[in-house]
Structure formats: structure tokens, C-alpha cells
Amino acid sequence: MATKKKNSNISSKQINLETNKEDAADEFLTTNHGVRINDNQNSLKAGDRGPTLLEDFIMREKITHFDHERIPERVVHARGSGAHGVFQLYESMSKWTKAGFLQDPKVETPVFVRFSTVAGSRGSTDLARDVRGFAVKFYTDEGVFDLVGNNMPVFFIQDAMKFPDLVHAVKPEPHNEMPQASAAHDTFWDFISLMPESAHMIMWVMSDRAIPRSYRMMEGFGVHTFRFINEQNRSTFVKFHWKPLLGVHSVLWDEAQIISGRDPDFHRRDLWEAIETGAFPEWELGIQLIPEADEHKFEFDLLDPTKIVPEELVPVRRVGKLTLNRNPDNFFAETEQVAFHVGHIVPGIDFSNDPLLQGRLFSYLDTQLKRLGGPNFHEIPVNRSIAPVHNNQRDAQARQTINTGRVSYEPNSLAGGCPFQASVKNGGFASFQERVDASKVRERSASFHDHFSQATLFFNSQSEAEQRHLINALRFELGKVEVQAIRKRMIGILSKIDAGLASAVAEGLGLPVTKPERPLNQSFGADTNPKSVQPTDASSTIEVSEALSMENTVKDSIKSRKIAVLIADGFNGDQVSVAKETLLKQGAVLKTVAPHLGAVLAADGKALPADFSFFTTASVLFDAVYVPGGSGSVETLAQNADAIEFVNEAYKHCKAICSVGEGSKLLEETRVPTDGSDRTIIIAETYPDANNGFVKAIAQHRNWERG
């Protein structure tokens, strides 16, 4: 009997486990408390272009649950690197904003910047194809201002209601936790193929922008439309940009995959080493200013986060410079514990009614409360305001401030009424008084229904090489999708962007180009929202925007570019010395790579230590290759398979290659053309003869004509 009773208990436990399983097939969507949801696409707003309402219990429940899913790692942007620096204004912005740190060009504002990937975990690679976070914390005299942006100016979705769905779709699939830090799987593309509003963002993510050469060589964007408020309480819409002084550069997808194996910390290491060696990363702050009266003059909605304001319509005005000049002393204490929040603003800056921004205002604070253990995360040193903090908030986990006195409320008389409310004249923050008079609705403004015009603009603005890379990226990603119906739906989406793009991707997938298989509704469910509106077939009056192609970026510097110098015993020491002296003056970094570590003997008997062996490094970790002469060295390298592969791989990845003297004999053993047909392959008798051409080739970053 005892045995039978024991087995009965086991059976009971199994039954209980079964009752905890959920199968959503043929069921209605509900809240966590069983209330059926009528609209899972739109947050509750005051009018279809109005602000999101706090009473939206469905959105708050959904995002709260999402924010608290993982501890302590960030749900998104988990993989990151940070640095300290300063921001300095070029000219006063007082005409448009009263923000204190944007008034006096003589004032330096301390900052902390965190770069990150979005989808991967803390242990994932830096070189994943992904959006990069670009978050800047300004420690101003009026309080903390966080400009929490990305390296892409648009986003996948228009309403914060869809953010948990987006991230759930792109994260590793829940049944097997694969793949890591990659969108190349069914759930992501299933979601995207049913969300046409993502079309523009997909063009950016499949472009070379998603695999930057360095954090120092990528743009940053505030994404949303914000407001500047001046002393006269006049509002001007503003979009924020960060323009890197080194230009915007990327790596090939094949190169990125190899780097991920060789050095998954590639971007983190690059940022750290640049700052340690004094090659301080620099960006200029650019702003696009749109008067209130011009809010509705564009062919797109200014509040739509899936749209840019083309620079041809509103030029970017560069108003200041960001310089990163100090690495963190402790990664966890600073980079990991820094807490950004789009709601951290100062007087003179305010929000717009962008529905994605409105949801972020709730989500970021909620996330930090969970991830950093409670409401006192602002007392962690890296998050601490340099402006004095005085309020009646008390206690809670990890409280550090020791508040004296008996009063912790307001109004009071026992403390003389302190701390006082501040008038606007005394720097008190007051929200811009925008009139809102509308019905409470769950709707999307009709002005948000153009999903394809700017996706087409982006694709048309790319160079031939960039378009080729984008097509190959889509072939790779969709080639990893197992469900054929998802691939077909995506071909339909692409056909709305560009017929040639759809045809090229379809050819790579072995599919015909067909029209979208189903109506592009905002909802896919059987009980679709009757107010759902079809995407419009609008087109952009701007056919090409030069700012959208990296072909038009800055290409006049080799500062901090890494050059591999291939040597073996018997190398020409003078040719190495002259090249090193010349290139170092222009800010380049030279590292010797040899068949072995330790001393390598020049032809004159002098020893030079090898920084790397072919076993400990790879061409993908460098921007260019230099092969000096020296018959003994070249003969050894020409018989070394790793040396041959090093040069071939550099050529495959479109990098500048230079040989001097007998060094050309090594190139003859590789796939590198030596007939002068490639302007970035420099062959000369002496280094001074090669210098100008080599420097120019490196500054071009890559010869994309090769691949």
C-alpha cells in the first residue's frame, strides 16, 4: 500500500504540472487577469495623435511584465560598453531652448556614454547584425538629461504597445533558446512579415549600418521628435543626431562573423584602447529644428518613429562636440549599473506625443526599479546628479542618503516649508502646455499608414555595393527561416519597397516574386479590428538622400586605423621604420605580425619584437596590411600558409594592401592583383613612394568595388 500511495503522489504532481501548461490555439488574447483584449496594436491615447494615457492598464500590464522578465541583466541592450567624457557647445541655443547646458559655449558638461547591441545577452558577440544603442547621460547643473538613442534614426514599431512583441520575436526562440544575438530565425521574420510598419527599419538593419567597424565610427540618433522650449515658452520640434568625426564605416558580414570567433569583444576593446592611447572618440551634436507651425507640412508624420526627416528638407545643424576621454574604473559599477531613462529631461527640453516615446517614458523607469533593486538607483555614483537633490522621498532598498530632521512631507510648517517648490523663473520644470482635446481611442492616426515610401528612399539612396550587401543580408536572414510561408510574406513586403530588391532576394531563396499573400492589416487575428487601415502607397518626393549612404561619409583620416605589418627574419628594417614613423604621425596604429612571437631579426641583425603571431591574430582585426621588403622575410612568408591566408583574407574583405621592394613577391603568391587595376593595392620600390597612395587607400576604409 505504501508503494501505491507514493506512486499516486507522483501522478498527482504530474497532473498539477499539466494544468500549468497553456495552449493558446484558437483562444482570444487576454490580459493576465483574463480580460479579453480588443486592440493589441495601439495604446490608449487622447485622440489618434494625442499623448498616451496613464489609465491604459492593458499597456502598463504588458510592459511591466516585459520589463521584469529578466534579472539582473537588461532585457535589451544587455551587451554594452561605456566611457566618460565631456560635451561642449559651439554656439548658444538660447533662441530655441532654455536648457542650461545649451547656453554657454565655454561650459563643459560631463557625460557618460553607453554603447550596446540590442538583442544579445551580456555574453554575446559585439559583431552581431543588430541595432546599436547610443545613450548619453549629461550631468548638467539643472539635473540629469539622458539622450537615449540608437545608431539608426528609426525603429521597428510605431506604438510602444508592440515593443514586448518585437523583443519576444527577435530574442532566442523560447522552446530551445536559439539563436543567440541573431534575427535570422522564424519568430522574428514571422513578426516582421506581419508588421509592414517595420519595412523602413528592416532596410537599416539589413544594411551595413548594422555591423559598424567601431562604436567610434557610427552615427547616433535620438530617434523620436522632442521639443525645445525657450524662455518665452515657445516650442520648437527637435531631432537629435550624433555625427562621428571619423566618419561612418562598417565591416563586411563575412568579416563580422570571423571577428566574432577571433575577438567577440572587438568593439569593446576598440573603444577601450582608443581612449587609453589618447585617440579620443569624437562626435558632433547635430539638431534638426522644426517650428511648431510646420508640424503638418511634411508628407510623413513628424510623430512617427518609423520616419526620418530627410536632411534635404531640414538640414542638420552641428552645434557642439562630444569627446570621450576616460575609461571606467570598474565595469560593473559604472557601465553595468548606469541607468538611462528617456524621462530624464531638464527645463528647456520636453516630449512630443510620439506613441513609442510615450510608452518608453513608463518602461524605462519601471525597468530600472526592477533591475537595480528599487527606487534608489539614482544614488549609485554613475547615476548621481551633480545638481543638488532635495525632496521628501525616503527609505527603500539600498538607501544611502541620511536625511536629517523630522519632516518628510510637503506642505509642512515644522521645517519652514522646505524644500520649496521652484517657480519657472527659479528653474522649476513645467511641461509645455499643449492643448489636448480629443476622445479616448485605441487607434492609429491615418498619417501613420505610409510604411514603404521611406524604405524605398533608403534603398534607393544606397550605393551599388551597399545595395548588394543589403540584398545578401536578406538572403542570409530569410535563408535561415524554415517556414516557407514566412519567406513568401517577406518577399511580398519587399515588393512594396522595390521590385528589383524583391526579385534579387527571391532569386536567392529560389522563390517567385508574388504580391503580398494577405491584406497588410495591423492585426493578423481572425477578429481583426474593423478600424484597421490598409497601408498607403505613398511615395517620397525625395528620390535619393545622400546622408543615407555611407559612401558619402568622411574619408580624410587614418587616425586610429590598425595596420598589420607582416615580417619574418630578414625583413628590411629601414622600410618598417620609415613606414611606422610616417603612419604614426597621422594617428595610425601599426602592429607587427610574424610566424612566431618574440624577437624577429631584421636583415641588418637588429631585433624587433613581434606584437602577434599568425596564430594569435587575424586580418579581420586590422584595417590594412603592409608587406615590407627583405628577401629572407618575403621568402619565409611566401612559404607560410597562414601568411598567404592573411593577405588573401584582407583582400577579400576589401582592405588596402601595400608592398614595398621584394614584398611584392609575397603578393604574387596570393589572389591580390599586382597589375595596378585596383587603386587600393599599392606596390612601390620604397615606402616614401608608396605613402600617399597607401594613406589615401586606408582613409577610404574599404574598396567596396571588390565585394
Query: Can you tell me the mean pLDDT for 456-468?
Result: 97
Peptide bond into 512 cis (omega under 30): no
Which residue in 9, 33, 68, 77 is the catalytic one?
77
Is position 150 annotated as part of the catalytic site? yes
- Closest listed residue to residue 563, CA positions, set 579, 544, 543, 551: 579
Distance CA 580, CA 600 (A): 16
The span from the CA of 154 to the CA of 300, in Å, is: 13
d(CA 618, CA 650): 9
The reported pLDDT for the residue numbered 15 is 39
- Percent of the chain at pLDDT > 70 equals 94
Cβ pair 500, 464 in contact under 8 A: no
**Quick one: which of 350, 349, 352, 433 has its CA closest to 49?**
352
Residues 12-37: tens digit of each pLDDT: 344 344 555 567 777 887 777 777 88
How much is the pTM?
0.91
pLDDT recorded at residue 533? 55
Of the candidates 9, 20, 40, 150, the residue annotated as catalytic is 150
Q: Which helix (H) or strand (E) holds 243?
A: strand 235-244
Average pLDDT over residues 343-365: 94
Domains recognised in the chain with CATH numbers: 45-383 (2.40.180.10), 449-550 (1.20.1370.20), 555-706 (3.40.50.880)
Which pLDDT belongs to residue 2? 41
Q: Residue 524 has what pLDDT?
A: 46
Before 244, cis peptide (omega within 30)?
no
Residue 527 has a pLDDT of: 46
Q: For position 20, what pLDDT does the model report?
A: 55
Percent of the chain scoring above 90 in pLDDT: 77
Is the confidence at residue 5, as pLDDT, over 80? Answer: no
Higher pLDDT: 430 or 553? It is: 553
Question: Does the structure show a pLDDT above 70 at 239?
Answer: yes
What is the predicted pLDDT for the residue at 520? 53
**Structure confidence at residue 523 (pLDDT):** 47
pLDDT at 518: 60
Q: Please, are residues 535 and 516 in contact by the beta-carbon 8 Å criterion?
A: no
Question: Residue 90 to residues 218, 248, 368, 515, 576: CA-CA distances in angstroms?
Answer: 21, 22, 34, 51, 41
What pLDDT is attached to residue 706?
A: 86
Q: Which residue has the higher pLDDT, 204 or 377?
A: 204
Least confident of 51-65, 472-486, 527-541: 527-541
First-to-last alpha carbon distance for the chain, in angstroms, is 75
At residue 267, the pLDDT reads 98
The whole-number pLDDT of residue 112 equals 97
Instruction: Say what the pLDDT of residue 625 is.
Output: 98
Higher model confidence: residue 430 or residue 558?
Answer: 558
Work out the angle at residue 699's Cα, subtended by the Cα atoms of residues 669 and 215, and round it to the nearest 5 degrees: 105
Q: What is the 3-state secondary structure (H, E, C) of 411-440?
A: CCCCCCCCCCCCCCCCCCCCCCCCCCCCCE
